[in-house]
Structure 1
Amino acid sequence: MPSYAIIGGSRGIGLEFVRQLALNEENTVFVTVRNKDKSTHLRATVAQLPHKNVRILQADVVDKQAIKNAATELGRLSGGGLDILIYNAARLEFDNLLRGPGDYDNDEELDEEFIQSFKVNVLGPIHIVNNFLPLLRKGSAKKIIILGSEGGERSFVQHVHISGLGAYGVTKAAEHMVATKYAVALENEGFTVVSVSPGFVDVSGTNSEPLSEGDASKFNDLVVQHFAAFPNAGTLLTPEQAVKRLLLDINNIGPAESGTFRPYPEFDTNKR
């Protein structure tokens, strides 16, 4: 019975991972959220699933003790092992997400956003992997998947001319390196550690709050900019489409792919 841990599954892509994986009664799905009581989309989704194979754990990825507690609880519930870890948590606060390094009102605001993004997007996966690694070592698949982004890849940023997404892009680039470091560290143990891109996904259906008019306009401009740079890429993906592709890839990859960043195929600048 394969076991999965989805880190950050209260909404968006993480929620869709939970839904699709839980539809297979052979899977056991553990999902972490910052706050169980406020995870209304997740609780509603789990209530409608045909099988009772989802376990919800509370753990903010910037709370080191909560991470330790979640890993301990998962080990107790799973019998001590875990097959696949998927780190989906990311800082996506729209008040700051679209800003470039020169777009902040003052140095303090800039520092705060970059530091908070670093805590979630870089230190978060490090603390998660360190605490869940003993469980993964006892699993059969030994796969660590980090949800990355082309926004952290230099060739993509240059091709699309993205000056915004400053804190997000810089910390996603560092997050890709985190995956590579663990791939090297664990290569002799048969692990597969990769960062993967879901593509450009419309997650507005489970947003915690609607975008302001200004943010919505800026986001739409960014969408247009992306697809103008890749005219054959089509349109925004639904979470269902993105996760279906990702799960196929996750099932097929092995140690030979460890350490790589796996872009959304239509956004792969090496194929231009």
Structure 2
Amino acid sequence: MASYLITGASRGIGLELVKQLLELPASQVSKVFAVARNVEIDAIKELVQKHSDRVIPISASVNNTASLEKAVESVKGKLDGQGLDVLVNNAGINGLTTGGIKGMEVDQLSQILDVNVIGVQRVTAAFVPLLEQGTQKKVFNISSALGSFALASYIADMPTDAYIISKTALNMLTLRWAQQYADAGFTIAAISPGWLRTDMGSKDADLSVEQGVSEVKRLILESGKEKNGKFLNIKAAKTDDMMWEYDGKDIAW
């Protein structure tokens, strides 16, 4: 049995991942902590009604240290003396940049970095003591292929500068954690979930959220220490209308 904590669980990838994890037997997934600023939404309430003994809503914001401290205590109390097994840092925000890099507002960059990078640091640092007590010691950061230096030339004109910068920074943050916690038995990796049809991804994206998250779930379940410090890509059959290729191979940083 494994316990999971998912941030950004009120919508999109996070909500769908909570749903798909709960579809697995309790012998495989014992508890799912669904972390979001607002856990009073209908979708989370429905999951609680259906899986009252396995899903636990936790109200917290990744850019609020005090709320995360309270969240740690809540999770600790619900683990009944056990450790936390898997952390998925999924919470993130996006934003368009008008006028190119010169026109990128410093306030926008600061806000996106605070959630997408510093937020991941806050959450991971807060929960790593519980992860150290867990049996799997897995941390997965939901990143994006947009953050890859190797692919930068393909997205030079994409008007999401602050978001792209944040995902590149997140990748290095992931790698630093992976390197420094390898000897402690951790598996820490970044996952590019693909361009998915969520509110953030838009209706024009390559894949449905269900398809992309199913692959994210597979990577989380199957990845062991051999994937520590890697940038993982999902696998999906290529069609002519897809922008990206999902070959299941590690992405170059």
TM-score, scaled to structure 1: 0.80
Query: 1:267 Cα shift?
Result: 4.8
Query: 1:171 Cα shift?
Result: 0.7
**Do residues 5 (structure 1) and 44 (structure 2) align?**
no
Query: Does the 8 Å CA contact 1:143/1:191 hold for their aligned counterparts?
Result: yes
**Distance between the aligned counterparts of 2:229 and 2:250, measured in 1?**
17
Query: Does the 8 Å CA contact 1:11/1:42 hold for their aligned counterparts?
Result: no
**Do residues 87 (structure 1) and 89 (structure 2) align?**
yes
**Distance between the aligned counterparts of 2:36 and 2:233, measured in 1?**
26
Query: 1:32 Cα shift?
Result: 0.6
The one-letter amino acid paired with 1:119 is D
**Distance between the aligned counterparts of 1:243 and 1:163, measured in 2?**
24
Structure 1: any 5+ residue segments left out of the alignment? 105-109, 208-215, 224-234
1:15 — aligned with what?
Answer: 15
Structure 2: any 5+ residue segments left out of the alignment? 236-244
Query: Does the 8 Å CA contact 1:23/1:50 hold for their aligned counterparts?
Result: no
Query: 1:41 Cα shift?
Result: 2.9
**Do residues 246 (structure 1) and 216 (structure 2) align?**
yes
The one-letter amino acid paired with 2:96 is L
Query: Does the 8 Å CA contact 1:149/1:263 hold for their aligned counterparts?
Result: no
2:137 — aligned with what?
Answer: 142
Q: Any residues of structure 2 matched to 1:37-56 within 5 Å, and which?
A: 37=40, 39-47=41-49, 49=50, 52-56=53-57
Kindly provide the CA deviation profile for residues 139-174 of structure 1, in whole angstroms up to 9, marking residues without a partner as x.
111100000001111222312444311110001100
Query: Does the 8 Å CA contact 2:146/2:155 hold for their aligned counterparts?
Result: no
Query: Higher relative CO (CA 8 A, sep ≥ 6), structure 1 or 2?
Result: 1
The one-letter amino acid paired with 1:97 is L
**Distance between the aligned counterparts of 1:54 and 1:10, measured in 2?**
13
Partner of 2:188, secondary structure, is strand
Query: 1:7 Cα shift?
Result: 1.0
With over 3 angstroms needed to count, the CA separation of the structure-2 counterparts of 1:140 and 1:112, relative to structure 1, is same
More helix per residue:
1
Query: Does the 8 Å CA contact 2:90/2:142 hold for their aligned counterparts?
Result: yes
Query: Does the 8 Å CA contact 1:7/1:88 hold for their aligned counterparts?
Result: yes
Bigger Cα displacement from structure 2, 128-137 vs 260-269: 260-269
Query: 1:46 Cα shift?
Result: 3.8
**Distance between the aligned counterparts of 2:103 and 2:45, measured in 1?**
37
1:172 — aligned with what?
Answer: 167
The one-letter amino acid paired with 2:22 is A
Kindly provide the CA deviation profile for residues 167-193 of structure 1, in whole angstroms up to 9, marking residues without a partner as x.
100011000111101001101111000
With over 3 angstroms needed to count, the CA separation of the structure-2 counterparts of 1:44 and 1:4, relative to structure 1, is same
Query: 1:255 Cα shift?
Result: 1.4
TM-score, scaled to structure 2: 0.85
Partner of 1:188, secondary structure, is coil
CA RMSD of aligned residues (A): 2.3
1:31 — aligned with what?
Answer: 34
With over 3 angstroms needed to count, the CA separation of the structure-2 counterparts of 1:243 and 1:29, relative to structure 1, is same
Percent identity, aligned pairs only, is 29
Q: Any residues of structure 2 matched to 1:1-272 within 5 Å, and which?
A: 1-26=1-26, 27=29, 28-37=31-40, 39-47=41-49, 49=50, 52-80=53-81, 81-92=83-94, 96-97=95-96, 99=98, 100-104=100-104, 110-204=105-199, 236-265=206-235, 266-267=245-246
